[in-house]
Amino acid sequence: MTKPLFTHLGSALAGGFIFLLCVPEDFKRGIPDTKDAAHLSNPSRKSTRHSASDTGSNHSSLSPTVLKTLPEGDSLEELLAITGISLPTRAELNTYLADKGYPAEGYLAAGMILQDANLMRKAIIREPSNPHILFALASRDDFPDDDRIHWARQLQEAQPDNSLASYLLAALTWKNGAKNPALEILSQVDDRKKFQTFTSESIIGLTEALRAAGNNPEASAYYAMLTVDLPHLAQLLSLSHNLQEHAQQSSRGEAFIARRRNAILGTSLARENDVISGLVGLSIQGNAYENLPPDAPFPIEGMDPEALSLSIEHRRNQIRDLPIVTDALRTSPELIEGYGMRALALGEIEALRWLRSRTTPPTQ
Is residue 267 within 8 Å of residue 286, measured between CB atoms? no
Is residue 168 within 8 Å of residue 154, measured between CB atoms? no
Domain 90-227, CATH: 1.25.40
Q: pTM score, two decimals?
A: 0.77
d(CA 269, CA 277): 6
The SS3 call for residue 164 is: helix
- pLDDT, tens only, 127-155: 999 999 999 999 999 999 999 999 999 99
Give the residue-averaged pLDDT of 305-313.
83
- pLDDT, tens only, 285-300: 999 998 888 888 898 8
pLDDT for 30: 30
pLDDT for 230: 92
Closest among 41, 22, 42 to 32, alpha carbons compared? 22
- pLDDT, tens only, 77-94: 766 677 778 889 999 999
d(CA 62, CA 67): 6
d(CA 21, CA 41): 15
Between 10-14, 212-216, 317-321, 352-356, the lowest mean confidence (pLDDT) is in 10-14
Burial (0-12, 13-18, 19+ Cβ within 10 Å), 123? buried
d(CA 104, CA 109): 9
pLDDT for 49: 29
The SS3 call for residue 85 is: coil
Listed by start position, the domains of the chain span 8-46+229-320, 90-227, 325-359
